[in-house]
Chain A
């Protein structure tokens, strides 16, 4: 188990849970980041900026704290 932020670029993971307040949790859920869904870190912005992730077939930018709250199971 890892936090999404700790996934290396290009590695995939399966969402296990989201450790965050309800507002953020449901917001991520509604954007399709639900437990059991595959998620991939594609790129990182410079200077500790947001993270570009891929879920289903679309890309989202999350800030680091948000990416930190997503717990994933790393997949080969």
Chain B
């Protein structure tokens, strides 16, 4: 069986991913390019007697070697030399898309062109002469549509055919004079440094040398000779070479366009134009965006929370069943506790993120696929540009207020690696819902009269800290000037359900496999620390001992005792367990669990009932988003409140909250950062940045409060 490597190249927003989804289905794998934070999608399929490996390269407008994405692409195309290029083109936007196509031809790799989004071409009544285009580009051209699945089989057949032909016809698309210059350059290279001809495609090399690239790898003689040609061109054409080359390519594109696009109905209703009049409106645009964000937020967390509860119930039933089983077989208490708390607790912790991630990814995939994400970036750009970021960072940061984990994954929509890293490092400072539970308890104990103000100021401290940190990081690590911001506003399109589901599924799967294992493993380690030596009192566990040692560093912040330290330790696993851990640590005994026994059949019944309840809750929650139902929930933590009142002064309580707000985010966030940025360096740096910031900010606040 033969294996064909196909590089999938195209402009952003041409439906490349949707097409690949159609071709490969769930065979699509998402990862990262080595060493960088750029997403790499790969898919391998069997077709007729071949294995076809598709490698999806980052979307780009032209072949250059400047940004990280461009470097990844060029490196792959030039060094790995794929057997074939699949150039995905938006057939409703040929004038822009064909520029890249012309450049790709310079690489001398056989190419198949997919005229994608063909369904819209038919709908709009545009006529494109495919055969003519094929002749002009010397490459097979196949109309395709991810929506209607048209042309997919044809495309695969053309890929096999081109692979077997192995014929690459170089079309000399520049004007005669210019082709002559290119030949001169090639002859010069042959004379002075012919090795280059073996390494690089001839035409690409000649164009690059004329443009002034590769200066370091050519001998001075060659450099001088090329400079002569460059001068000659400038004299004759009165333009610099780079401009001339770009103009030549565009001239080509326009002439091809005119020959190939036969009938274009003018004045077709441009729904995008009118939608933008609403969504980008000077006055309504921003409020509408903020409303949509709020809706995303509400839907994500309200839709997922019943399923989180359902998972909780299911796991507790499973845990009871297992314990009942273990009891029959006379296992030790330690093992029972390990299985029910550590193993099932750990699995449960990982699983509780799944409903949130599923819902959020579906919404984000929709926003991305529909083209709205670019509009959001357009509206928010001004506000984010002060931090050296662009509008795209806003959504992930905002999602952070719900839960940091999906927020980190939402940075996927940011293409620029620098922006992505900076945004990711800012996310943990956004106070998530889990932190709010701790704030709420403390506020009812210490700050009843001005509770709202305290909570509001905590959120504000988080935001301010993130801005200061971003500002400093920008100066320290990313000294480069703020990048040029040019954003395409693609036409609004309705993404297919398949696109949404496949995208969501791949990402949730990646979370479970990559981050999930780490979170699970670490939570088990923490369980061991809190519960061993087994059977001793809480203040003699390893955790208490470690906390005692560490607590010294919290002395200047006002809470240098082991209890507070150990509570913070548990907060590293997850902020939502801080309260139960505090109950454990401060009160000293676990809230007595009901001893239940269940058979498997009873267990299944319970799980079934819980699932039905969850679905009912979803409907209720949906209703409550739009204000039909008012919910009131109040947890009872009376006992703990009493202990906390005795252990903290007001100042200490506030300083504890500030620290809890800012210090290292939960495990899940930490590993999400590792997965998303593909680097342990940034993961540890993120932990360090949060910890130091938390310490410094808390120190400042504690001392100000002491003075007042």
1/0 contact trace for B262-291 toward A, CB 8 Å? 000000000011001100101101100000
A32 and B385 contacting across the interface, CB-CB below 8 Å:
no
Tell me, rounded to whole Å, the shortest Cβ–Cβ distance linking A26 to chain B. Answer: 6
Do residues B382 and A31 form an inter-chain contact, with CB atoms below 8 A? no
Q: For chain A residues 37-62, which have a beta carbon within 8 Å of chain B?
A: 42-50, 52, 56-62
Chain B residues whose C-beta falls within 8 Å of the C-beta of A47 in the assembled complex = 382-383
| A73 on interface, CB distance cutoff 8 Å | no
Is the pair B486, A66 in contact by a Cβ cutoff of 8 Å? Answer: yes
Judge whether B378 and A30 touch: CB under 8 Å: no
**B282 to A46, Cβ gap below 8 A?**
yes
Q: Which of chain A's residues have a CB closer than 8 A to the CB of B283?
A: 46
CA–CA, A56 and B366, complex, Å: 27
Closest to B279 in A: A43
Is B626 located at the chain interface by the 8 A CB criterion? no
- Which of B93-101, B415-423, B519-527, B633-641 lies on the face that meets chain A? B93-101
Known A34-B247, A52-B280; contact A60-B488, beta-carbon cutoff 8 A: yes
Q: Smallest distance from the beta carbon of A62 to chain B beta carbons, Å?
A: 6
CA distance A14 to B550 in the complex (A): 68
Closest to A21 in B: B484
- By secondary structure, the B interface counts as helix
- What secondary structure prevails in chain A residues at the interface with B? mixed
The residue of chain A having its C-beta at the shortest distance from the C-beta of B272 within the complex is A59
Q: Do the beta carbons of A43 and B276 come within 8 Å of each other?
A: yes
Q: Is the CB of A48 within 8 A of B382?
A: yes
Report whether A66 and B485 are in contact in the complex, using a CB–CB cutoff of 8 Å: yes
Query: Residue B487 at the A interface, CB < 8 A?
Result: yes
- Give Cα A31 to B95, complex, Å: 10
- Chain A nearest CB from B53 CB (Å) reads 29
Within 8 A of A (CB), among B473-511: 484-490
Cβ contact within 8 Å between A44 and B282 = yes
- Chain B residue nearest to A9 (CB atoms) is B282
Contact A60 B487 (CB under 8 A): yes
Known: A30-B99, A32-B95, A50-B382. A61 touches B486 (CB 8 A): yes
Q: What residues on B are CB-neighbors of A63 within 8 Å?
A: 381, 385, 485
When A26-B246, A30-B62, A52-B276 are in contact, do A46 and B484 touch as well, CB less than 8 Å? no
* Contact yes or no, B96 A56, CB < 8 A: yes
In the complex formed, the residue of A with least CB distance to B374 is A61
* B61 interfacial contact with A, CB 8 Å: yes
B242 and A31 contact, CB distance less than 8 A? no
Is the Cβ of A50 less than 8 Å from the Cβ of B485?
Answer: yes
User: Is the C-beta of B328 less than 8 angstroms from some C-beta in chain A?
Assistant: no
Q: Would you mind naming 18 contact pairs between A and B with Cβ atoms under 8 Å apart?
A: A23-B484, A26-B242, A31-B61, A31-B96, A34-B247, A43-B276, A48-B382, A49-B380, A50-B378, A50-B382, A52-B280, A56-B95, A57-B92, A57-B95, A58-B95, A58-B488, A61-B489, A63-B381
Given contacts A32-B250, A52-B276, A61-B489, 20 further A-B contacts (CB under 8 A): A29-B250, A30-B99, A31-B96, A34-B247, A45-B379, A45-B382, A46-B283, A46-B379, A46-B382, A47-B383, A50-B381, A52-B280, A56-B95, A56-B96, A59-B276, A60-B486, A61-B488, A62-B486, A63-B381, A66-B485
Interface residues of B (CB under 8 A from A): 61-62, 66, 92-93, 95-96, 99, 242-243, 246-247, 250, 272-273, 276-277, 280, 282-283, 285-286, 374, 377-383, 385, 391, 484-490
Write the residues of chain A forming the contact surface with B, with a CB cutoff of 8 angstroms. Answer: 22-24, 26-32, 34, 42-50, 52, 56-63, 66
